[in-house]
Amino acid sequence: MRKNIVAGNWKMNKDFAGAQSLMEELAAYAANSSANCEIYIAPPALYTVTAKNIFEYSKVEVFTQDISEHESGAYTGEISADMIKSVGAKGAIIGHSERRQYHGETDSHCNKKVKLALDKGLTPIYCNGETLEQRKAGQHLDVVKNQTETALFTLSADEIKKVVIAYEPVWAIGTGETATPEQAQEIHAHIRSLIAAKYGQEVADEVSILYGGSVKPDNAKEIFSQPDIDGGLIGGAALKIEDFSKIIGAFN
């Protein structure tokens, strides 16, 4: 049975005091939340140990925003899967659109990272999604198909069930364009159908697929009510406890 998940990606935001304050607010909220979902946060990697300490007895699981494709070695600035596991992180976001755009990450890189994360017992949140140009050219289904197959389809059936997928319509983030719940559902259903074609419907029905396109308190319930959308990967709204808690509460 797939899980409902609300994951907060803090990106490169908050100084230490601000991050600690937000974590404490979230821990207090989570202690009293009856929402039917798992809660993940991915703060800047520097704060992973602090986050793990604050959420030690909480429902909130801690992720990092990336991991290296290498196990260890002379890779200055990189953070390994073993490192994040050793401080208690549950997993890592892999292939976020900003990593692709600013750091040149490809689906081949993502494939290595996903496999390494799984080998280390971590949960990968694998991100995919098309750009505005690709959407306008009608290439969105093919783009997402190629991303999904290249990054994930070397996995076994048991492995892919442990992956969380986050669909990011890059064209609807900071462009003034808006994805409707129906457009989001179309891609989520498409991704699930690809998994079903490769691994069978039973496996596909166990994979959680999150929506990563500007989820807000006022649209979360409608988005999460779509049959193939199992939650959200939240950006800006995860930085305000008032907004993030309302999005989590959409699963009440």
Catalytic center residues: 96, 168
φ/ψ of residue 63, rounded to 5: -120, 165
Please tell me whether 10 is known to bind a ligand.
Answer: yes
Please tell me whether 219 is known to bind a ligand.
Answer: no
Please tell me whether 171 is known to bind a ligand.
Answer: no
Please tell me whether 216 is known to bind a ligand.
Answer: no
**Residue 160 DSSP SS3:** helix
Cα–Cα distance for residue pair 229/226, rounded to 1 Å? 5
Residue 113 per-residue DSSP state? H
Helices 16-32, 241-248: axis angle to 10 degrees equals: 30
Please tell me whether 73 is known to bind a ligand.
Answer: no
Residue 3 per-residue DSSP state? P
Cα–Cα distance for residue pair 143/97, rounded to 1 Å? 13
Please tell me whether 8 is known to bind a ligand.
Answer: no
Q: Count of residues for the chain?
A: 252
Of 99, 172, 95, 163, give the one whose Cα is nearest residue 132.
172
Positive or negative: CA dihedral 105, 106, 107, 108: negative
Find the radius of gyration of the CA atoms of the chain.
17
Q: Which residues are annotated as a binding site?
A: 9-11, 174, 214, 235-236
Q: Which residues are annotated as a binding site for substrate?
A: 9-11, 174, 214, 235-236
